[in-house]
Structure 1
Amino acid sequence: MINAVLLDLAGVIYDGEEVVPGAAEAVARLRAAGLPIRFVSNTTRSSKPTILARLAKLGLSVPSAELFTPAEAACDWLRERGRTAHLLVHPDLVSEFQDLPANGGMAVVIGDAGDAFDYQSLNAAFRKLVDGAELLALAPNRTFKDADGKLSLDAGAFVAALEFAGQRQAIVLGKPAPGFFRSALATIPCAAAEAAMVGDDAETDVAGALNAGLGQALLVCTGKYREGDEARFAPAPSATVGDVSAAVDWILARRHGTE
């Protein structure tokens, strides 16, 4: 039985500056079927308002409460624990980290900083870790599909570098952290076993969702997908489908447990 759907954004709903063909209609079909939707994105180069505006421009009106981002999760974590943030994030994401504790213990927050990744910034973060700061990774993705259509390094390589040098394990706040999936489902609410995830990343989206206890996770062959991805990570996808439209076909055919 499928009672809720989690959707990735980049590579599933949009690809670069273009909507994936049929994506808006696919989302509308889920809504028409009465299935609650939550959008769970590991994008850490754009603020939440920017992402919502981008979706609106592509013809998708998404309420703020339906979109979950690692930056939001990080801010919640910092406030709950009274920690001060040392940011190693993209300049466009800095606005998300407002009104945080200023005098608590330190936590390094690392996302996809893009060109802001350089020796000076990485070494400054490393020194905070040496001084006892915790390490928060917004997302550990290995790659993303860049504007030129090719894969580029994502934040994961830089997270690994700081883990190695700082001799500490990062606390991951976005996908594939189980808590990220569960926090989205808790707002519906829906049991994890009755939810389906749709993503283009076999590791963070699909295996991450299944490890978090979701009943189904579908891999789409758009975005960063490369041939053979479905066999590279465990657990394997519940199904590998062409795109989000095909994923919605699959979900609606099985939502009542009839197939």
Structure 2
Amino acid sequence: MSLRVLLVEDDRLLRSSLRDALSVEGYDIRTAASLADARAQSQNALPGDLIDLVLLDLGLPDGDGQALLTELRRSSQIPVIVISAREAEGQKIRMLDEGADDYLVKPFGIGELLARMRVALRRRGHASEPALLHYQHGPLAVDLRLRRVRLGSQDVHLTPTEYALLARLVRQAGQVVTHRQLLTDVWGPEHTEQTHYLRLYMGQLRAKLETDSADPQHLLTEPGVGYRLAEPDVIH
């Protein structure tokens, strides 16, 4: 099972790029663009859907991220890494004293962020699982590292949204991913009720990846629940 990371960041472009980069490394990324959304996701998670680590921006549109850190530390030891443009030493000391596991000043490299995440997780007793980077089922092969999709010997061109949807299913290959999870992870938490997005893009994916889109062999429907990518022949 991939470790779940809640990314709290109001900058849309940075949020999207971090989500994509961390997802490729095998993390299950949940995103929040506001303090209220982050609170809802951290407080209302079901037992089997708990967050393993929080990446926390401070300058949020409805408050300061420090408030969330304070609330989390009242009841949880979940690892929290602050990611902020605020670089004053006093600010860093204050956040670390409040219970942050680490403080990373923007801009930063993804390699450094990943290393700090691994350290924070180890301190709390979690071992990062290897990234699931390659999937194959029959003629369908997906390489997340190279962002390459092939059907037999042919490369398949996908739109960014089609690719994001397929990649999300690859990272949980063989398991059902609910409508809500897919909408949250691909389109954002504000779209959790818009299941027509899923039907539309799943139809487009099947048209490109299935021999017979009416009888799919790779992209399977779990009626009333979500979608599942067929159990892989190879995944590593």
TM-score interval, smaller chain: 0.3 to 0.5
| TM-score after normalising by structure 2 | 0.38
TM value normalised by structure 1: 0.35
Q: Quick one: higher RCO (CA 8 Å, sep 6+), 1 or 2?
A: 1
